[in-house]
Structure 1
Amino acid sequence: MIVGKTPRIRMTFVAAWHTLLALLVWDVAVTVFYYFAPFPGPALPLTIFGTGLALLLGFRVNSAYQRWWEGRIVWGAMTNNSRSFARAVGSFLPDTEQGRALRHELVRRHVAYVHVLRHQLRGQPPRESAERVLETTDIPELALRNPANGLLEGNGLRLARAQREGMIDTIQHSRIEAIMVEISNAQGAMERLRNTPLPAQYRSFPTFFTRLFCVLLPIGLVESLGPATPMGSALAGFMFLAALQIGDDLVNPFADTIHDAPLNAMCATIESDLNESIGLPPAPVVQPVDGVLW
């Protein structure tokens, strides 16, 4: 996530420069042709077309931002429910050697869970983070298709066993289980966002109409701008291409790019809070790098 105050127009330009270069060549060709064979440029239809295109791009950008913001919301819910989980197991488990050991195991497994989930969403191998947190290489859940869910289910089985052994009563177990259901719901929402892209029409139609508009733009401007047509047309085209690129940047909040939700920072926050709940030192704070918080 970009947190710097300086706009990164250069990055948008780099992403669109191939298209801009082709359009600039076309703009120059239209301008030269106009001076050899003048023709009337119909400005009004182009204005109507541009207005409709702006509405279409605005709708697409809003849809992409809604996905990004939902990803941030469900990770906020994961943070809150993780704190509630640590607080509940700390309050309900008995202050005995066995109870403290189980509490430590459950909390550390949950820390491993959020890191594994982060890697799953980004399509990265989770083993290194899981082994660092759990301090072991014997983690059978990593062999599952969904290792994050396996870690969560393992915690549920441990709590069920604790309830059968009398370490917590039925009401306490139900309360912790309700928190774990909320955690599972948050994971499901994240997986839905990751595995369900925007419909193809949301990308193909705006792309087609944006490029068509950029092709028609110098024809409508050359009569009024004259030699300045390539510059004016390229600038107006860049604005529409930039709006198109913004939608591409935000559509996947877990893509591990500078535009995605800061999963590293949020996982570090969860690890710090949960470590302190069991008397361990907090995790290092994730700082922005070159204006980007990962």
Structure 2
Amino acid sequence: MLLNNKISLSFFIKNILRQALLIFLFANLIVLLKLYSPLVLVIPITIAVILGTCIALLLAFRTNQAYDRWWEARTAWGAIVNDSRSLIRQLQMFLTEEPDNESLLHSFVERQCAWCFVLGDTLRGQDITDRLHKFLPLSDQQRVNRSTNKPNAILLDHGLAIRRLYQNQQLTDFQMVQLSTTLNNLTDSMGRCERIKSTVFPRTYTFNMQVFIYLFATILPFCFDSIHYLLDVPLVTLLSSAFILIEKSAIQLQDPFENQPTDTPMTTIAQKIEADLKSMTAYPTSPAKQITQTYYSL
């Protein structure tokens, strides 16, 4: 997720450098032809204005839809934060203060931290071996690794552990229902993230938008007077690049789980959850707060 820190100029340039360079070269070619050939077509500026207005409206709609996907992902992870805290607080309230229950509560904390990190890494297509090794015992690691949906397997372990507590009469019927509801909420948030990840934004919309932008960049050099060479080429390049940059930004926002600077900051959120849960359950040491040195947080 982009932060309030100063954003590197290279973040913007690298996204549009190739397209901007092609437009710059094309604009130079057309202006030179207009200077030395009387046969070059001159297009009324009104055509470019109408096309540019249409592109601006379509880009506004596209950016809004992309932001909705990004915001839904962020909302889902906000719910994960709340439900993670609620799960551990409920267990603290429901379990009696016995020495054995402290280690039992810590096992839930470790498992919930593992789930948060594993869910984020799975959505990004990253390896989760180190996460499992850090939080789970070897037997649980092997069982999770055999599952096709590893975050769901960790939630299942939560559910089975709660069932054992209920069978041992450490939980009442009402407490069992409350904990099951919290697990269902976590499952719902996981499902929302998986739906966003697996639902592809319509490629035809991206293709059509790019066609309109490049058509605008093609028409625009024919609309200026050839005597203003020093003004024509920069204007064509800047105006076209602005449209391309907005369209690229929308593409990045529409996929919030791709390990990009515009991602939902799942790792940072998981670190915050780990710190909160360990603070709630009196761990001897809490993880150090991570300070971001760049202009984004993952």
TM tier relative to shorter chain: over 0.9
Partner of 1:67: 69
Compared with structure 1, are the counterparts of its residues 137 and 160 closer, same or farther at alpha carbon in structure 2 (3 Å cutoff)? closer
Q: CA shift at 1:21, angstroms?
A: 1.4
C-alpha contact (below 8 Å) 1:99/1:167 kept by paired residues: no
C-alpha contact (below 8 Å) 1:210/1:241 kept by paired residues: yes
Partner of 2:6: 6
User: Partners of 2:227 and 2:13 in 1: how far apart?
Assistant: 26
> Is 1:148–2:161 an aligned residue pair?
no
Q: Deviations over 1:117-147 (max 9, x none)?
A: 1111110111211211225465211221111
C-alpha contact (below 8 Å) 2:86/2:182 kept by paired residues: yes
Partner of 1:85: 87
C-alpha contact (below 8 Å) 1:85/1:179 kept by paired residues: yes
> Unaligned stretches of 5+ in structure 2?
none
- The one-letter code matched in structure 1 to 2:286 is P
Partner of 1:200: 203
1:181 to 184, 187, 192: 184
C-alpha contact (below 8 Å) 2:118/2:128 kept by paired residues: yes
**Matching of residues 24-39 of structure 1 within 5 Å:** 24-38=24-38, 39=41
> Is 1:293–2:291 an aligned residue pair?
no
- The one-letter code matched in structure 1 to 2:136 is L
Q: CA shift at 1:70, angstroms?
A: 1.2
C-alpha contact (below 8 Å) 1:83/1:273 kept by paired residues: yes
User: Partners of 2:250 and 2:218 in 1: how far apart?
Assistant: 21
C-alpha contact (below 8 Å) 2:7/2:295 kept by paired residues: no
C-alpha contact (below 8 Å) 1:287/1:293 kept by paired residues: no
Q: CA shift at 1:32, angstroms?
A: 1.2
2:253 to 243, 246, 250: 250
User: Partners of 1:246 and 1:211 in 2: how far apart?
Assistant: 17
C-alpha contact (below 8 Å) 2:8/2:295 kept by paired residues: no
C-alpha contact (below 8 Å) 1:82/1:270 kept by paired residues: yes
Partner of 1:236: 239
Partner of 2:122: 120
C-alpha contact (below 8 Å) 1:40/1:223 kept by paired residues: no
Q: CA shift at 1:222, angstroms?
A: 3.6
C-alpha contact (below 8 Å) 1:12/1:245 kept by paired residues: no
User: Partners of 1:284 and 1:202 in 2: how far apart?
Assistant: 44
Superposition TM-score, scaled by structure 2 size: 0.93
User: Partners of 1:101 and 1:227 in 2: how far apart?
Assistant: 73
User: Partners of 1:122 and 1:78 in 2: how far apart?
Assistant: 17
> Unaligned stretches of 5+ in structure 1?
none
Q: CA shift at 1:7, angstroms?
A: 4.2
Q: CA shift at 1:282, angstroms?
A: 2.0
C-alpha contact (below 8 Å) 2:201/2:254 kept by paired residues: yes
Partner of 1:42: 44
Identity of aligned residues (%): 25
Secondary structure, counterpart of 1:282 in structure 2: coil
User: Partners of 1:213 and 1:267 in 2: how far apart?
Assistant: 44
Q: Deviations over 1:178-232 (max 9, x none)?
A: 1111111000001111111211123111111111111111112245844421111
Secondary structure, counterpart of 2:224 in structure 1: helix
Superposition TM-score, scaled by structure 1 size: 0.94
User: Partners of 1:222 and 1:58 in 2: how far apart?
Assistant: 30
C-alpha contact (below 8 Å) 1:141/1:150 kept by paired residues: yes
State the aligned residue count. Answer: 294
Q: Deviations over 1:2-23 (max 9, x none)?
A: 2144344432222211111111
Compared with structure 1, are the counterparts of its residues 277 and 261 closer, same or farther at alpha carbon in structure 2 (3 Å cutoff)? same
